[in-house]
Amino acid sequence: MKYYIIAGEASGDLHGSNLMKALVKQDLNAKFRFWGGDLMQNVSNTLVKHYNSLAFMGFLEVLLNIRTITKNLSFCKKDILKFNPDVLIFIDYPGFNLRIAKWAKQQRFRTHYYISPQIWAWKENRIKSIKRDVDSMYVILPFEKKFYEEKHQFPVHFVGHPLIDAIANRHPIDELEFRELHQLSKKPIIALLPGSRRQEIDKMLHTMLSIVDDFKEYQFVIAGAPSQGLNFYKKYIDNSNVHFISNKTYDLLSVATAALVTSGTATLEAALFKVPEVVCYKSSWLSYQIGKRLVKHIKYISLVNLIMDKEVVTELIQNEFNTVNLKRELTKILDHYQRTKFFISYYDLEKVLGGKGASESVAKHIYQSLL
């Protein structure tokens, strides 16, 4: 079978690569053509466009790059027609993928969507185009199945969260070697995950690092995003107790005692590594006000709390994200009793997420649908 896959972000590249590996197990004659990144390219050397040229975040950036986006949409349609796949597989990235799905459905291509857009949080009206243009939807959060089927009468497949597979399949590291390689001392590690975009990192790291001198018995390690170089982070590494490691977030989490994490997928990653964490979020006043009005009334911003439908991890949002509160909450999660409560909740979280096998489940559904 011929599979055309579109992933427009780093996370999509990770989950797309694992899906491709699983599809090859189902279909020995699988042929791929895809938009993605290095991980997908390691599976099949048929990359059309790298996600580095596709990731436009925020209202202004999208407007400034509208001509590029339009050209990419046009090129993608022509490329699909030329490849003539048996199925199109969309991985998240809804702004682009839903437009292609509409066109593809009109062209009578089969359309499968892996990792649902978060329409339960905002842009719920996208359900209309999803019901019209998507043959099969694969959701990775348990409450999404209820949202689609009970609220919108659209059947979906809950396959579990692919991060469980990604973490389980990673190569284990030797902690002593890791510390020596990155010139870390024997002190316990507090991991800092400030996000991936420059503006976001600038806002988060300043406050995260403001408490370093209050925890001298620990060492703080910044998890550098692959999209940002060392030069960008140098201004933050002016304390002997602050270190920097680029593009090794999973390795860092595997040896960390606690973490300060910017809201996003990283909050779930830290939880799956069983690392007690404080979730942090701050944007400009205007962006925050716009966001509050666009996002539906949801109780939490972190995936951990959303999935468990209760406060498992503390969220410090906007003005609450400050030095005083951060110091207090980090002190709490370093306490032995509090840490035990975290571990119990994290194991419950993993059970709710359905365990391992997301990629294999999606691959099996897709392949069998084509027979």
Look at 104 and 37; give whichever has higher pLDDT.
Answer: 104
Mean pLDDT of 109-120: 95
In the structure encoding, which two tokens stand for residue 57, read together?
Answer: 């975040």
128 confidence band (pLDDT: 50, 70, 90): very high
| Domain identity same for 348 and 360 | no
> Who contacts 338 (Cβ-Cβ below 8 Å, separation ≥6)?
276, 332
pTM of the shown model = 0.84
- Residues 91, 237 share a domain: no
User: Residue 64 is part of a domain; what is its CATH number?
Assistant: 3.40.50.2000
β-sheet with 2-7: strand ranges across: 47-50, 31-36, 2-7, 87-91, 111-114, 136-139, 157-158
Both 216 and 362 in a single domain?
Answer: no
- What is the rounded CA–CA span in Å between residue 173 and residue 156? 37
Shared-domain flag, residues 200 and 256: yes
Q: Are residues 137 and 279 in the same domain?
A: no
pLDDT confidence band for 282 (50 / 70 / 90): confident
pLDDT of residue 235: 85
Do 136 and 40 have their domain in common? Answer: yes
Sign of CA dihedral 78, 81, 85, 90: positive
**118 and 136 share a domain?**
yes
pLDDT band at 352 (very low <50, low <70, confident <90, very high): very high
- Over range 199-209, report the average pLDDT: 89
Domain count, the chain: 2
Show the tokens assigned to 26: 């189902």
| CA–CA separation, 179 and 187 (whole Å) | 10
- What letter represents residue 111's amino acid? T
Residues 280 and 144 reside in one and the same domain: no
229, two tokens: 């170089």
What does each C-alpha distance from 37 to 7, 98, 361 come to in angstroms?
8, 20, 22
Per-residue pLDDT averaged across 40-66, rounded?
74
Question: Average pLDDT, stretch 233-245?
Answer: 88
Range of the domain at 323: 169-352
Mean confidence (pLDDT) of the chain: 90
The CA-atom distances, in angstroms, between 132 and each of 110, 111, 154 are 12, 11, 10
The answer, yes or no, to whether residue 302 has pLDDT greater than 70, is: yes
- On the question of pLDDT at 158 being above 70, the answer is yes
| 226 and 330, same domain (yes or no) | yes
195 and 134 within one domain? no
Tokens representing 275?
A: 């690392």
Does the pLDDT at position 232 exceed 90? no
The tokens for 33 are 């053509």
Chain-centre distance for alpha carbon 7? 12
**Same domain, yes or no: 231 and 360:** no
Residue 67 in this model has a pLDDT that exceeds 80: no
| pLDDT for position 289 | 57
Residue % of the chain over a pLDDT of 90: 73
104 & 76 share domain: yes
